[in-house]
């Protein structure tokens, strides 16, 4: 076991002030300090010489050599590498105030497509710079991507840990470090199939790893996750990634892009980080799908429609209704004599004076008899009437 509460080595204190230990583990200790010459805050990584990993020192030096080739705002910079008095290696790099992408995802859950696209574009920029200079990272994962500052205000990505990076000009360099045939290098959840098979890798291997990270950012889950190490790496080799549900708009276009990054065959992936970034920018410009039309309740709509139909039918018949003929109202006919005015009243009013035997009409003539209709008269006394046979014809059929 190593004591992690030890004081910073004396040699470091010669140049770096205000040294504070910020992390420690089985491999070494990381300090935060102020470079008195450059007047900037730095992180200093030291390595325990008796580490259980025999390749630790070589990887430590490999990281220094790889990053020394690079100078990019999305890649953490290394300013110094050397040995302390006891031959303990140390590495001085930019200090990044922030949190890892892994911690950010644990806090935030699945991320908005715009944030995912911004993060991926910055990683593409940094890794395209590295690939153009012959450096393949081989260990891209959320814990090796730092979000500098406050992500709510501005996204600024810094790529860390090039300790297992491949320098493309040679499998063996002057340090004697060699990637042995049949040796898998990388992290199981993010390794490409060719890494698992210990085959030669190029930029497309980093694209696959970035696809795994992107899948995790949009879904909150890993694309390949078995219960054991063997199940996990086998899934990378044989199992298609679980489908992402969104198919429309910006998120849908991003999901299609991610699945292309995760192709088992490197030839089916994007050829370079710059090509991947172009596709990401195209996703950013995809219009959102149209908002679904809210369906109204069909019952009120049906009732309203039937009501309108009924009103229309009623109006149609009302307009086209044949006007019933108006029966002319016969004018009231007055008898020639006042005594006969009651001949012209309504049918239900009996002409009672016709029934008055003691008050006979004395001067009824043929014209007067023409006014007797229907059952207006129940009886008539024509004893003194001045009528002829022609007038009597008006009495035929009456119930007298």
Q: What is the 3-state secondary structure (H, E, C) of 270-336?
A: CCCHHHHHHHHHHHHCCCCCCCCCCCCCHHHHHHHHHHHHHHHHHHHHHHHCCCCCCCCCCCCCCCC
The H-assigned helical ranges of the chain are 10-15, 56-68, 101-108, 113-132, 193-196, 203-219, 229-238, 249-261, 273-284, 298-320, 352-355, 366-369, 389-392
Q: How far is CA 190 from the centre of its chain?
A: 27
Q: Tell me the Cα Rg of the chain.
A: 54
Which domain, by its residues, includes 55? 1-95
Instruction: Looking at the structure, tell me whether residues 387 and 257 fall in a common domain.
Output: no
Q: Report, as residue numbers or ranges, the catalytic residues.
A: 139
Q: Has residue 233 been placed in a domain?
A: yes
Domain membership of residue 316 (yes or no) is no
Asked whether residue 277 falls in the same domain as residue 131, the answer is: yes
pTM for the model: 0.68
Query: What's the start-to-end Cα distance of the chain, in Å?
Result: 145
Q: Is 400 a member of any domain? A: no
Query: Quick one: 107 and 63 in the same domain?
Result: no
| pLDDT by position in tens, the chain (length 400) | 444 446 677 778 888 899 898 887 767 889 999 999 989 999 998 887 665 566 777 888 888 888 888 999 999 998 888 888 777 888 999 998 899 999 999 999 999 999 999 999 999 999 999 999 999 999 999 999 999 988 878 899 999 988 888 887 654 444 444 455 456 778 999 999 999 999 999 999 999 999 999 999 999 999 999 999 999 999 999 999 988 877 778 889 999 999 999 999 999 999 999 999 999 999 988 877 666 666 555 566 676 677 787 787 677 666 666 555 555 555 544 444 454 444 444 444 444 444 444 444 455 677 666 666 555 555 566 666 677 777 777 767 666 6
Report if residue 142 sits inside a domain. yes
- Among residues 43, 64, 95, which one ends one of the domains? 95
Phi-psi region of 161 (alpha: psi -120 to 50; beta: other; left: phi over 0): left
Do 14 and 119 belong to one domain? no
Number of compact structural domains in the chain: 3
- Do residues 42 and 133 share a domain? no
The residues, ordered by sequence, that sit 6+ positions from 183 with a Cβ below 8 Å of its Cβ are: 198
* 80 lies in the same domain as 211: no
Residue 244 domain-assigned?
A: yes
Asked if 148 and 157 count as a contact pair (C-beta separation under 8 A), the reply is yes
Residues 190 and 246 grouped into a single domain: yes
Last residue of a domain, one of 41, 65, 95: 95
Are both 15 and 43 inside the same structural domain?
yes
| Domain assignment present for 313 | no
């Amino acid at each position: 076991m190593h004591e992690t509460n030890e004081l910073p080595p004396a040699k470091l204190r010669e140049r770096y002030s205000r040294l504070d230990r910020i992390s420690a583990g089985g491999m070494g200790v990381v300090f935060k300090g102020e470079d008195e010459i450059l007047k900037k805050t730095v992180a200093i990584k030291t390595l325990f010489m008796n580490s259980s990993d025999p390749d630790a020192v070589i990887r430590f030096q490999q990281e220094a050599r790889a990053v020394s080739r690079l100078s990019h705002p999305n890649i953490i910079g290394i300013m110094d590498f050397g040995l302390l008095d006891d031959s303990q290696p140390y590495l001085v790099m930019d200090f990044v105030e922030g949190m890892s992408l892994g911690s950010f995802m644990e806090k935030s859950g699945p991320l908005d497509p715009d944030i995912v696209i911004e993060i991926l574009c910055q990683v593409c920029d940094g890794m395209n710079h590295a690939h153009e200079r012959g450096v393949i990272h081989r260990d891209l994962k959320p814990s090796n991507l730092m979000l500098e500052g406050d992500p709510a205000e501005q996204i600024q990505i810094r790529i860390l840990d090039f300790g297992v990076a491949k320098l493309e000009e040679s499998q063996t360099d002057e340090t004697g470090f060699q990637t042995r045939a049949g040796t898998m290098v990388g992290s199981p959840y993010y390794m490409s199939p060719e890494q698992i098979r210990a085959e030669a890798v190029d930029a497309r291997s980093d694209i696959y790893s970035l696809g795994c990270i992107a899948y995790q950012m949009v879904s909150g889950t890993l694309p390949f996750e078995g219960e054991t190490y063997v199940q996990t790496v086998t899934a990378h080799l044989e199992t298609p990634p679980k489908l992402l549900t969104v198919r429309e708009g910006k998120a849908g276009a991003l999901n299609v892009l991610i699945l292309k990054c995760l192709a088992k065959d490197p030839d089916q992936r994007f050829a370079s980080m710059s090509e991947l970034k172009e596709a990401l920018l195209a996703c950013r410009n995809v219009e959102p799908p149209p908002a679904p039309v809210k369906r109204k309740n069909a019952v009120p709509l049906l009732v309203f429609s039937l009501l309108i139909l009924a009103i229309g039918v009623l109006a149609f018949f009302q307009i086209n209704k044949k006007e019933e003929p108006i029966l002319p109202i016969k004018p009231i006919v007055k008898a020639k004599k006042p005594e006969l005015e009651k001949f012209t009243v309504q049918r239900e009013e009996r002409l009672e004076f016709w029934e008055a035997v003691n008050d006979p009409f004395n001067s009824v003539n043929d014209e007067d008899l023409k006014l007797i209709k229907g059952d207006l008269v129940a009886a008539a006394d024509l004893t003194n009437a001045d009528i002829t046979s022609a007038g009597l014809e008006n009495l035929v059929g009456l119930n007298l």
